[in-house]
Structure 1
């Protein structure tokens, strides 16, 4: 079991070993008067979260808020199960995610359609949250955790319409979920900083993503706290890489679809995934990163999901013409 990482400013990071991978998804813990957690991952990650809290000697009855940046299962799938163990906690969610946490039947149905027989292993259980335990935060709303620490919520679509990001006044940082992408800290050992856009289906919008990123950038933050995975103190590089990679991802999708219009959704997505993998791996080759590096396992997964989101987005663009 890995110990929680202390990030300063009374914030800790717990590795949740999402999908059995380390440095994949994390929970952030605020050690404040109103003890608060951001993100839970899916239910199978809950033992890692509980172990991390126990390591820090945090009693579950002291947890006041559990915040999810959006309702995708790798961020919020375990929140219902966690809530059962936290008798005094409320769950904070975007207004567009509220009803899906109250009644997760559509989340479950969608996940089963994608993951089939693997659903139980990856996500089960996904439990409903009583409405009296849910708090909606809209754009500009705040949450005071202690004197001197206020969280400010901002509506940041692009990855998903039910996504907010959270500005932390004390550390001058933003918890961005998936809005400004995914961070691969495994590559720091190779001297490489890599941030890639997260273009998951089915609400991906590159235009909205760039607008949301600009809004976060305009805060002049010192830190970005990613859902996947960890913290960066180089926000300028984060935003520069998003603006670099996002058009390349979309262009790769356009090339595949324009060349192969007769293919099925799955076939288009597979070709786009291969094209994205080639783009990223060629970049890593220039940085002398081995093709056997552990990061490639995560990249394969991420880029296949990104490809599905790009296929979905471009298909909708075609229908709307």
Structure 2
């Protein structure tokens, strides 16, 4: 439910607050404040531009920076982890929990920053992300598959979930029977909610999209019989079995488009065009009646990234054959 005192946040039962991280547009990405009787954790950090909002919600909820026990990122893509170093400076008592494959990029983010700057250019990078702040290695804890931590009386379980990225885990909260799913359980923007419920579609972002692994990870998440998925993009969703079926079907559609157009001229443009047509058709069938221009605005970034991701997957598969 929306709490009027939390202008940029949604409060859910069980001590969980989704906070907008001010990434590119409202309700694009969020961080979760997870509360217990003796401290809190942040799951996902967003980018540096969202830090004032996170600190503001923390204060309005009655917590101090020293009450933050953990800062957790599901993976180190910058819309999820770009503000990790900045937040760790704010929270002197916190440990940083990260997938083993992602830890080195948070301890020394120079290579990661240079790589992303090479893609976007310095001006766009500075506007979206700012500079990445390194995290002291002594404060970093690598979380392996099956590891747990206690947040007061609240247990958080970490499970390795490859498919979106090899350095991705999801976090199970037994108290609310929900997964903090990062990008493993896809994208579900609140603008697409209808009386039929939430709408979901996959993210195939480069460079480690792996369709079989992603579907296996989704099925593993379902094995816990979750009541909720806490998505970074965006917010809490229920009706999990239906959404999982739609999500797996969407992954299969992306694979079919990619394989059919693998050798086509102007491959990128044709793949994007077909993915856009499929996605808009699905949205209309779901009852979304936003104007086409608004759909274009909301979907532009994801269509670009998904096209890039399935192309990288195709090329990698060909090289491995």
TM-score class, shorter: over 0.9
Any idea what SS the aligned residue of 1:201 has?
coil
Q: Which moved more, 1:131-140 or 1:291-300?
A: 291-300
- How far apart are residue 285 of structure 1 and its match? 2.9
Given that residues 261 and 271 in structure 2 are in contact (C-alpha distance below 8 angstroms), is that contact kept between their aligned partners in structure 1? yes
- Cα offsets for 1:143-182 (capped at 9, x unmatched): 11122x2011000000000000011110011111001211
Q: Which moved more, 1:136-145 or 1:282-291?
A: 282-291
C-alpha distance in 1 between matches for 2:288 and 2:199: 14
Q: Give the structure-2-normalised TM-score.
A: 0.93
- Cα offsets for 1:219-264 (capped at 9, x unmatched): 111111101110011111221111111111121122222222xx5x
**Corresponding position of 1:284:** 283
Equivalent runs, 1:267-282 vs 2, <5 Å: 268-282=267-281
**Corresponding position of 1:110:** 115
Any idea what SS the aligned residue of 2:262 has?
helix
Given that residues 270 and 304 in structure 1 are in contact (C-alpha distance below 8 angstroms), is that contact kept between their aligned partners in structure 2? no
* 1:68 is aligned to 2:39: no
1:102/1:288 Cα in 2 relative to 1: closer, same or farther (>3 Å)? closer
C-alpha distance in 2 between matches for 1:90 and 1:257: 44
Q: Give the structure-1-normalised TM-score.
A: 0.93
* 1:238 is aligned to 2:243: yes
- How far apart are residue 314 of structure 1 and its match? 0.5
* 1:31 is aligned to 2:41: no
C-alpha distance in 2 between matches for 1:122 and 1:86: 23
**Corresponding position of 2:21:** 16
1:89/1:156 Cα in 2 relative to 1: closer, same or farther (>3 Å)? same
**Corresponding position of 1:300:** 300
Match of 1:139 among 134, 142, 145: 145
Any idea what SS the aligned residue of 2:26 has?
coil
**Corresponding position of 1:90:** 95
C-alpha distance in 2 between matches for 1:135 and 1:126: 19
C-alpha distance in 2 between matches for 1:288 and 1:90: 42
Given that residues 202 and 313 in structure 1 are in contact (C-alpha distance below 8 angstroms), is that contact kept between their aligned partners in structure 2? yes
C-alpha distance in 2 between matches for 1:224 and 1:288: 21
* 1:227 is aligned to 2:232: yes
- How far apart are residue 274 of structure 1 and its match? 2.1
C-alpha distance in 1 between matches for 2:146 and 2:288: 44
1:165/1:112 Cα in 2 relative to 1: closer, same or farther (>3 Å)? same
C-alpha distance in 2 between matches for 1:77 and 1:284: 31
Q: Which moved more, 1:183-192 or 1:133-142?
A: 183-192
**Corresponding position of 1:314:** 314
Given that residues 269 and 304 in structure 1 are in contact (C-alpha distance below 8 angstroms), is that contact kept between their aligned partners in structure 2? no
C-alpha distance in 2 between matches for 1:120 and 1:55: 29
**Corresponding position of 2:184:** 179
C-alpha distance in 2 between matches for 1:296 and 1:234: 26
Any idea what SS the aligned residue of 1:183 has?
coil
1:269/1:127 Cα in 2 relative to 1: closer, same or farther (>3 Å)? farther
Unmatched 5+ stretches in structure 1:
none
Give the RMSD, CA atoms, in angstroms: 1.6
- Cα offsets for 1:260-314 (capped at 9, x unmatched): 2xx5xxxx33332222111111222332523347454231111110110100000
* 1:128 is aligned to 2:134: yes
Any idea what SS the aligned residue of 2:118 has?
helix
